[in-house]
């Protein structure tokens, strides 16, 4: 990868240079230690230019038409003067995978929109990568002038709840037939949803969508009591209901800002991000130390065979890690 100076990255991103933005994202996604220091220098310089965008997470059940929905919503927003970045989080892809082409094919209107930017946020097979790469990519897109960042979760399970913890508003996209689909939706996703949108509410399916809306509302009242998120219907195909949905996103932000909860939420997310980075760094340090790596492998075998308890093994690893750190400080 061609390397620019930190200032060249900063100037390019601030100037809205798409090529430089793409290279800056590639820089922060890099696993090479040599790139880490430069990436942090770039991010720190750009930090004052971040934080202003609407950060919206979008998940959905299979077949809900998520890509068509994002394409329609994003196109509506760019027509209103917004600049929209779409980040597709895929825990199964790799940095060199072919998902860029796939995302642009699925979002045909946004892919040619000069006020939109589509980028996969691959995690190299680890959910921990979602926390680091996607959060930092959001900051870069904000610094580049994108005032709406849509984070699409492509994977299933934990990736949805991780993304919900890094956005301001989390949308879960559903389809009609609530009785059956509700069984397949993980409870954790519904617990973090800020809005449920029943897509494909068009043609003969409109009446089913309305019935599904009522069913989901009843189920959510049982699950979440008084804190029931809005349940709306929409059609990405006919582009109906999208304006009302976005109005809910904007209204929610305004209410949170007025109460001070918005800033507290952002602050809490930043602290959680810090601890995610610490925990991931410690894990890499443990695995990267030859002596500790050998000890961990032996203890994993002992725990698996019942010769040691998990808690005793963990204490042994942590104790030796502390000793190694103390030895390094003494030598230093």
Q: What is the pLDDT of residue 149?
A: 98
Through-space distance between the first and last CA atoms of the chain, rounded to whole angstroms: 34
**Residues in CB range of 84: below 8 A, 6 or more apart:** 74, 77, 78, 110, 113, 115, 116, 117, 146, 148, 149, 150
How big is the CA angle at 114 (ends 109 and 115), to the nearest 5 degrees?
Answer: 90
Q: Each residue of 216-248: pLDDT tens digit?
A: 888 888 877 777 899 999 999 999 999 999 999
Tokens of 262: 């918005």
Residues of the chain with pLDDT under 50: 93-101, 128-129, 178, 183
Both tokens of residue 244?
Answer: 């009302």
107-144 per-position pLDDT tens digit: 889 999 999 999 976 655 555 446 568 899 999 999 99
Eight-class DSSP state of 265: H
Q: What is the DSSP annotation of 82-150? A: --EEEEEEETT--TTSSHHHHHHHHSHHHHT-TTEEEEEEE-TT-THHIIIIIHHHHHHHHHTT-SEEE
Q: How far apart are alpha carbons 253 and 54 in whole angstroms?
A: 8
Residue 33's pLDDT is what? 78
Q: Domains in the chain, please, with CATH?
A: 1-49 (1.20.5.170), 51-258 (3.40.50.300), 270-331 (1.10.287)
Residue in the block written with tokens 């952002």 = 266
pLDDT of residue 31: 78
């Amino acid at each position: 990868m061609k390397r620019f100076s930190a200032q060249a990255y900063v100037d390019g991103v601030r100037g809205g240079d798409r090529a430089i933005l793409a290279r800056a994202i590639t820089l922060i996604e890099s696993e090479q230690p040599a790139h880490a220091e430069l990436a942090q220098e770039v991010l720190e310089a750009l930090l004052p230019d971040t934080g202003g965008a609407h950060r919206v997470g979008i998940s959905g059940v299979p077949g809900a038409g998520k890509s068509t929905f994002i394409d329609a919503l994003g196109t509506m927003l760019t027509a209103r003067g917004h600049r929209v970045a779409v980040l597709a989080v895929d825990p199964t892809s790799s940095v060199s995978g072919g998902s860029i082409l796939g995302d642009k094919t699925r979002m045909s209107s946004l892919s040619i929109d000069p006020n939109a930017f589509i980028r996969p946020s691959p995690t190299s097979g680890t959910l921990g990568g979602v926390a680091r790469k996607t959060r930092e990519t959001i900051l870069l897109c904000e610094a580049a002038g994108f005032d709406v960042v849509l984070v699409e979760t492509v994977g299933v399970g934990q990736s949805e709840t991780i993304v919900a913890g890094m956005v301001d508003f989390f949308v879960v996209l559903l389809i009609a037939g609530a009785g059956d689909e509700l069984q397949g939706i993980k409870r954790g996703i519904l617990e973090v949803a800020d809005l449920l949108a029943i897509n494909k509410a068009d043609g003969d399916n409109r009446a089913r969508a309305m019935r599904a809306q009522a069913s989901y509302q009843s189920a959510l009242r049982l699950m979440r009591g008084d804190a029931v998120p809005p349940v709306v219907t929409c059609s990405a195909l006919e582009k109906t209901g999208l304006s009302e949905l976005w109005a809910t996103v904007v209204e929610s932000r305004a209410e949170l800002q007025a109460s001070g909860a918005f800033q507290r939420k952002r602050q809490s997310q930043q602290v959680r991000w810090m601890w995610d980075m610490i925990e991931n760094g410690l894990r890499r340090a443990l695995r990267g130390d030859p002596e500790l790596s050998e000890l961990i492998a032996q203890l994993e075998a002992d725990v698996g065979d019942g010769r040691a308890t998990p808690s005793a093994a963990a204490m042994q690893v942590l104790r030796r890690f502390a000793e190694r750190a103390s030895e390094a400080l003494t030598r230093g």
